[in-house]
Chains A and B, each alone.
Chain A
C-alpha cells in the first residue's frame, strides 16, 4: 500500500504537485486545459470516493447524486437567488453533508449488494427530482451558472481555473492521506479488513462508516460546485447513475485503497474517451472491452499492480 509512512506520502504528494505545476508545458491550447481540468474535478471526487470504497470497504453507486446536488445547489443559489458564489458553495456543501449524515445512518446498516442497491436508488431519486423540478433546476435542458467570483475578482478562462483546480486537488489528496494515517483512518482500514474484528477492538464501526460517507459526499459536492461555475452550465447528465458508475470505475481501475490510484484512474478514464473518438461508432465497444480486460488482468487496479511489478514483488 502506498503512503505508509510520512516520507513516502510526502514524496507522492510532491510528485503530484510537480506534475500539476509542469503539465501546462504540454497543454498547448484551451482544449487540453479543459481536459486537464475535467481530470482534476473527477480526481477530487474519486479521492473522496476511494476513502469510502477502497479504505472503508463500502460501496456507493450513487455518488453522482452528491456531485449533482453540490453543482445544482451552487447553480440555483447563485443564478436564481443572487448569492455570492463562495457562500453558495459552502451552503450547498453543508446541505449535502447533512443529507449524507441523515441518510447515511440507515443506509450503511446494509451490506454488500444491498448497500450498492440502496446507494444506486438514492442516486436515481436525486437525479429524477433534479430533472423533474424544472422550475428550479431548468429540467433536462439544464441551466446557466454565473462565474465564480469572490472579493471583486472573477475566475475566468481555462488557465486560471487550471491552477485553482490543481491546488484544490493537491489539497484534497493531502487531506485524504492525513485522514488515512490518522487514528481514525486506521480504524477505517480495520473496518475494511473485518467489521466484526474492528468492533471487538473497540471501534464504533457505524460511526466511522458514517463519517467516511459524509467526507466522501463533501468531496463530491465541492467538486460539483466547482464544475458548475467552471462550465457555466449544468444539466442532469452529471447526476445520472451512468456518472456514478463512471466514478466507481475510475476508483477501481486506478486501484482501490490507493489515493494516487484514484487520481490515476480519473486521469486515464477521463482522457480515454477523448482519445477514442477516432474510433467513431466503435468507441463504446472498445471502451467496454478496455474496462473488462484491465480488470481481468489487473484486478487490484492499475497503480497497485504497477507498483508491485516495479517493486519486483509478485503476489
Chain B
C-alpha cells in the first residue's frame, strides 16, 4: 500500500508541476492594422512589454504569463472569430482587448456565455452601461469626456458652442453623448458639422461654423488625423473661439502634427500624458513616470493614452489574479469587481458590482497646450 500512496503522491506532484509550468494565458484582440491602428499598435506594444517584464520578475502566482494576441484590424466580425479562437482553441484565462467599441460590443455575447473575464480598452459608455457580468473597461467613457469638457466650458461662461466630429464610431458616439448631456451644463449646441474619416480638408465645415457669430467655443469630437487637420484649418481660417479636442488626441503626436496651430487647445486627459509635470504629491505620478520611461525606452516612440488603457487592463487583471490567488475565471471576475483604490494610468480605480468602469471625473484632468507642450489647467 505504501508503494501505491507513494506513487499517487508522485503523480500528484508531477501533475502539480505540470500545472505550475502551464503559463497563464492572457488573450487579446486589438486593431493593430486598419483604420484604428494607432489605437491597437501602442496597446499591443504595451501588453507585450509588460508581459515580458512581469515574467522577468517571476510571473504571477508563480507561473509565467503568455500573451496570445490577434489583430482584428478594427473589424467586429474578425474580432468575434478571434475571440472564439481565444476561448475555444487557445483556452485563455482572461481577455484584455477590444480597441474599438464596435469590436467590443460584438464579442460581449461570446464572453458572457463562455464565462470569461473581459477587460475592454474601448471608449463608449454602452460597454459598461448597462452592466454586464463579465465585461469591464478601463478608459474613461466618452460621456465623461463630454462632461469634463462642459465643466471647463461652464467655468469660462461659454453657453453656445459648435460641434464638429468625424464619421468614425468613436466620433459619433462622443458626439451623441455630448448632445445628450449639454443641457445639464447649460450649454447649447448651435452648430453641428461632420467630416469623413479619410478627409484631408475641413475648411468647408469650419467656414460654416465661422459664419455663425454666436459660437463661443468649438468642440472637435474625434481622433486620429482628423483633429490635427481641423486644428490646422482652424488657424488657417483665423478662427478665434477657443478649440476643445477629445481625450482621443491626448498625445504629443497631435501637437506635432498640428504644428504651431495647437496652442491654446484644451482637452481632457488622463494624468500620464503630463508625465513628470504632475505635481509632486500626485498619486499617479510614479506610475506614469515609470510607464513613460519603460515604453519610450523600449520602443523609441512617444507614449499615447491608448497604451495606458492597455497597461491598466493588464495590471488590473494581474492584481485581481493575485488577490484571488487563482486563475479560476469566476473568482478572478469577482476579484476584478472588488478592485479598490488601484492606481492606474487612467485614474484610480474603484469597481463595484454596478460600476465596471471604476473611474469618475476626479482623475480626468483638463490640459492645455502651451509652448508646444501639455500643461495642467488648475
In the assembled complex, B168 has its CB within 8 A of some CB on chain A: yes
The interface-forming segment of B69-77, B220-228, B241-249 is B69-77
Chain B residues with Cβ below 8 Å from A34 are 80-81, 84-85
Question: Do A29 and B89 touch across chains, with their CB atoms under 8 A apart?
Answer: yes
13 interchain pairs, CB-CB under 8 A:
A29-B88, A30-B84, A31-B81, A34-B84, A35-B81, A134-B176, A141-B172, A142-B105, A231-B106, A235-B77, A237-B78, A237-B102, A277-B70
Question: Do A140 and B172 touch across chains, with their CB atoms under 8 A apart?
Answer: yes
With A141-B124, A284-B33 as contacts: A235 and B70 at CB distance below 8 Å: no
Question: Do A141 and B81 touch across chains, with their CB atoms under 8 A apart?
Answer: no
In the assembled complex, A5 has its CB within 8 A of some CB on chain B: no
Q: What separation, in Å, do the CA atoms of A32 and B87 have in the docked complex? A: 12
Q: Which of B59-116 contact A (CB under 8 A)?
A: 70-71, 74-78, 80-81, 84-85, 87-89, 100-102, 105-106, 109
In the assembled complex, B169 has its CB within 8 A of some CB on chain A: yes
With A134-B172, A140-B168 as contacts: A233 and B85 at CB distance below 8 Å: no
B112, chain A: closest CB distance, angstroms: 11
In the assembled complex, A283 has its CB within 8 A of some CB on chain B: yes
Question: Do B77 and A238 touch across chains, with their CB atoms under 8 A apart?
Answer: yes
Question: Do B89 and A31 touch across chains, with their CB atoms under 8 A apart?
Answer: yes
Summarize B's interface: helix, strand, loop or mixed.
helix
B369, chain A: closest CB distance, angstroms: 28
In the assembled complex, A82 has its CB within 8 A of some CB on chain B: no
| Nearest opposing residue in chain A for B100, CB measure | A141
Classify chain B's interface size: 20 to 34
Chain A residues with Cβ below 8 Å from B71 are 277, 280, 283
Q: What separation, in Å, do the CA atoms of A131 and B197 have in the docked complex? A: 11
B137, chain A: closest CB distance, angstroms: 14
Chain A residues with Cβ below 8 Å from B320 are none
Chain A residues with Cβ below 8 Å from B89 are 29, 31-32
With A232-B109, A233-B76, A235-B106 as contacts: A140 and B169 at CB distance below 8 Å: yes
B130, chain A: closest CB distance, angstroms: 13
Chain A residues with Cβ below 8 Å from B102 are 140-142, 235, 237
Question: Do B70 and A141 touch across chains, with their CB atoms under 8 A apart?
Answer: no
B111, chain A: closest CB distance, angstroms: 13
**A265-307 near B? 1/0 per residue, CB < 8 Å:** 0000000001001001101100000000000000000000000
Q: What separation, in Å, do the CA atoms of A30 and B78 have in the docked complex? A: 15
Q: Which of B165-217 contact A (CB under 8 A)?
A: 167-169, 172-173, 176
Question: Do A281 and B32 touch across chains, with their CB atoms under 8 A apart?
Answer: yes
Known: A233-B80, A235-B76, A237-B77. 5 other contacts (CB 8 A): A31-B88, A38-B81, A134-B176, A142-B106, A280-B71
Question: Do B80 and A144 touch across chains, with their CB atoms under 8 A apart?
Answer: no
Q: What separation, in Å, do the CA atoms of A237 and B102 have in the docked complex? A: 10
Q: What separation, in Å, do the CA atoms of A274 and B102 have in the docked complex? A: 21
A-B complex: 5 closest residue pairs judged by Cβ atoms? A140-B169, A29-B88, A141-B169, A31-B88, A233-B106
Chain A residues with Cβ below 8 Å from B85 are 31, 34, 274
B132, chain A: closest CB distance, angstroms: 12
| Nearest opposing residue in chain B for A29, CB measure | B88
Summarize A's interface: helix, strand, loop or mixed.
helix
Question: Do A31 and B84 touch across chains, with their CB atoms under 8 A apart?
Answer: yes
Interface contact tally, CB-CB below 8 A: 76
Chain B residues with Cβ below 8 Å from A84 are none
| Nearest opposing residue in chain B for A147, CB measure | B109
**A237-262 near B? 1/0 per residue, CB < 8 Å:** 11000000000000000000000000
Classify chain A's interface size: 20 to 34
In the assembled complex, A132 has its CB within 8 A of some CB on chain B: yes
With A29-B88, A140-B168, A141-B102 as contacts: A237 and B75 at CB distance below 8 Å: yes
Chain B residues with Cβ below 8 Å from A281 are 32-33
**A219-242 near B? 1/0 per residue, CB < 8 Å:** 000000001000111010110000
Chain B residues with Cβ below 8 Å from A30 are 84, 87-88
A48, chain B: closest CB distance, angstroms: 20
A84, chain B: closest CB distance, angstroms: 21
Q: What separation, in Å, do the CA atoms of A238 and B78 have in the docked complex? A: 10
B188, chain A: closest CB distance, angstroms: 21
B127, chain A: closest CB distance, angstroms: 10
In the assembled complex, A12 has its CB within 8 A of some CB on chain B: no
Q: What separation, in Å, do the CA atoms of A283 and B71 have in the docked complex? A: 10
Question: Do B81 and A274 touch across chains, with their CB atoms under 8 A apart?
Answer: yes
In the assembled complex, A3 has its CB within 8 A of some CB on chain B: no
In the assembled complex, A139 has its CB within 8 A of some CB on chain B: yes
Chain B residues with Cβ below 8 Å from A238 are 77
Q: Which of A113-168 contact B (CB under 8 A)?
A: 131-132, 134, 139-142, 144
Chain A residues with Cβ below 8 Å from B124 are 141
| Nearest opposing residue in chain B for A35, CB measure | B81
**A23-53 near B? 1/0 per residue, CB < 8 Å:** 0000001111011001000000000000000
Chain A residues with Cβ below 8 Å from B32 are 281
Chain B residues with Cβ below 8 Å from A35 are 81
Question: Do B105 and A140 touch across chains, with their CB atoms under 8 A apart?
Answer: no
**B20-61 near A? 1/0 per residue, CB < 8 Å:** 000000000000110000000000000000000000000000
Question: Do B109 and A141 touch across chains, with their CB atoms under 8 A apart?
Answer: no
Question: Do A231 and B172 touch across chains, with their CB atoms under 8 A apart?
Answer: no
With A231-B77, A232-B109, A238-B77 as contacts: A139 and B84 at CB distance below 8 Å: no
Chain A residues with Cβ below 8 Å from B77 are 227, 231, 235, 237-238
| Nearest opposing residue in chain A for B86, CB measure | A31
A200, chain B: closest CB distance, angstroms: 46
